[in-house]
Amino acid sequence: MPSSAVRRQAFSPIAGLLALVTAAALLSSCSGSSRQAARPPAAPTSPVARPSVPCTTVLSKAPSCTLLWGTSADGVPVTDLERAIGYRLQIVYSFHGVDTGPLPTPQERAQARDGHILHIDLESRRFARAGHPAVRWSQVADGTFDRELRQSALGLAKLDQPFFVTFDHEADTPTKGRERGTAPEFVAAWRHVHALFAESGATKAIWAWTVTGYPANFARAARLYPGNDDVDWVSWDPYDTRGCLADGVGTEAAQTFEDVARPFYDWLQTAGVKAGISLAKPYLIGETGSAYDPKDPGASAAFYRSIPAGLTRLPGIRAVTLWDERASACDYRIAGVPEAESALRAAARATGQIRVYP
């Protein structure tokens, strides 16, 4: 979720994900290893160019070169946003604690049955306690929560489709470091959870290492990478915060999707490689959104319209998850905002999605 917070189908998204992972694995075996003030351009009318990685076929022969769209699951029902923009969203992102135990939840099971790809974040927090207090990464690494995590892994292992898993998203924020421990302790915790899932038979888990992607956090992110053997996708959370009340609504220049996503993308091609992050990893935008500005309702719409053009210039990005919630002073809600709904409808059409709602 935003770090500023207190804090029917013409193709099979599941088969598409399997193919994307297969393509990433093939690439891995073959490889060794600020902001601009421009107003977003209009979305192109033709499908966005696909990343220059091999298109493979798996299971139902669905093409691997299809962009996956998703949304957070802690706000309005997923179907509300799907109906609002008229298009199917493949990924559903939800948050749990290391003490949650049995997963998936009944709601997540229903989402999976409906063909959605689950993205499960296991926060280093106690969700079973009031206030969701933080848990030290060293406690996760030493097995304090193995019983609960094994329950989560065993339940998810029963799914008949791939699913994303993240351990403690945005661990590069300074607050998490102060509360939860050192970078080596995070890496040890990630690897411990990864191994526990493998031992529990959760072999369909796709591990998405997720950081903020904010320039101020780049150095911390480099130290937090668990290693290419324990990470399948690289993910970050770029936001247009211009409309956040705490920042002074409308005081900054409007930003495009490329403006906010490019800094970490470029870092991955340079300093990220030096940190050991393979360029063969597919990229997932774990969360993105534009804070609604009541003084300029069209600003958020322009951000969403800019996504397809941004993707043509950031071809490693294979999935985009929208944050459809209010986060403290930042209102990222999309459903119910006509300008944003219309812009996302155009973006989905431009990226080759198939309309499923009138």
pLDDT in tens, 99-123: 999 999 999 999 999 989 999 999 9
User: Who wins on pLDDT, 34 or 338?
Assistant: 338
- Indicate the domain borders of the chain: 68-350
Within 10 A of 34 (CB to CB), how many other CB atoms are there?
7
Quick one: pLDDT at residue 326? 85
Determine the pLDDT at residue 138: 98
What pLDDT is attached to residue 294? 82
Residue 65: what pLDDT?
Answer: 55
Mean pLDDT on 147-163: 96
DSSP state of 73: S
Backbone angles phi, psi at 112, to 5 degrees: -65, -40
pTM score of the predicted model:
0.84
The pLDDT-based confidence of 47 (bands split at 50, 70, 90) is: very low
44 pLDDT higher than 50: no
Range list of β-strands (E), the chain? 57-58, 62-63, 68-72, 91-97, 117-123, 163-167, 205-211, 233-236, 239-240, 283-290, 317-322, 326-327, 330-331
Please state the CATH superfamily assignment of the domain spanning residues 68-350 in this structure: Glycosidases (3.20.20.80)
3-state DSSP assignment of residue 324: coil
Average pLDDT over residues 182-202: 98
**102 in Cβ contact with 152 (< 8 Å):** yes
pLDDT band at 59 (very low <50, low <70, confident <90, very high): very low
CB-CB contact of 94 with 74 (8 Å): yes
Per the prediction, the chain carries an average pLDDT of 83
